[in-house]
Amino acid sequence: MENATIVDKPSQSSYPSQLKATLSDGKLLGMSTTSVHGGEARQKPNDAITDSICCSSTFTFESTQSILDYIHEKQDREEYGRYGNPNEKVVERKLAAMDVAEDAILYSSGMAAIVGLLMAKLNSGDEIVFFDQCYHRSREFCSKHMARFGVITHQVKTGDFAAMEAAINDRTKMIVSESPTNPHLTVIDLEQFVALGKAHQVETLIDATLATPYNVRPIEYGVDYVWHSATKYMGGHNDLLAGVICGSKEKLEDVRKLRGILGGINSPHNMYLLERGLKTFALRMERHNQNGQRIAEFLERHPRIERVYYPGLKSHPSHSIAKQTMKGFGGLITFLVRDADWKQTAAVIDACKIPRIAPSLGGVESLIEQPLVMSYFDYSPEDRLRFGIYDNMIRMSCGIEDTEDLIADLQQALEV
Ligand X SMILES: *Cc1c(COP(=O)(O)O)cnc(C)c1O
Residues numbered 119-178 forming contacts with ligand X, rule: CB under 6 A: 135, 178
309 touches ligand X by CB under 6 A: no
Q: Which is nearer to ligand X, 136 or 256 (CB)?
A: 136
369 touches ligand X by CB under 6 A: no
Contact 109, 103 (CB under 8 A): no
Alpha-carbon 6 to chain mean position: 22
Q: How far apart are the first and last CA of the chain?
A: 53
111 touches ligand X by CB under 6 A: yes
| DSSP letters spanning 91-132 | HHHHHHHHTT-SEEEEESSHHHHHHHHHHHH--TT-EEEEES
Q: Which of 152, 168, 210, 274 is close enough to bind ligand X by CB under 6 A? A: 210
Q: Which amino acid is at 222?
A: G
Contact 288, 398 (CB under 8 A): yes
118 touches ligand X by CB under 6 A: no
Q: Which is nearer to ligand X, 230 or 282 (CB)?
A: 230
Site string for ligand X, 180-199 (x = CB under 6 A): --x-----------------
231 touches ligand X by CB under 6 A: yes
What is the spatial distance between Cα 26 and Cα 4, in angstroms, rounded to a whole number? 8
What is the spatial distance between Cα 148 and Cα 146, in angstroms, rounded to a whole number? 5
Q: Residue number with the shortest CB distance to ligand X?
A: 110
Taking contact as CB under 6 A, which single stretch among the options 73-81, 85-93, 202-210, 298-306 is the one that binds ligand X? 202-210
What is the spatial distance between Cα 233 and Cα 360, in angstroms, rounded to a whole number? 10
109 touches ligand X by CB under 6 A: yes
In the complex, what is the shortest distance from the CB of residue 129 to ligand X, in angstroms, rounded to a whole number? Answer: 18
What is the size of the binding site for ligand X (CB under 6 A)?
14
Q: Which of 100, 202, 241, 389 is close enough to bind ligand X by CB under 6 A? A: 241
In the complex, what is the shortest distance from the CB of residue 231 to ligand X, in angstroms, rounded to a whole number? Answer: 4
266 touches ligand X by CB under 6 A: no
C-beta pairs of 317-321 under 8 Å, 24+ apart in sequence: 317/186, 318/159, 318/180, 318/185, 318/186, 318/187, 321/187, 321/188, 321/189
Q: Which is nearer to ligand X, 207 or 224 (CB)?
A: 207
Residues that bind ligand X (CB under 6 A): 109-111, 135, 178, 182, 207, 209-210, 229, 231-232, 241, 243
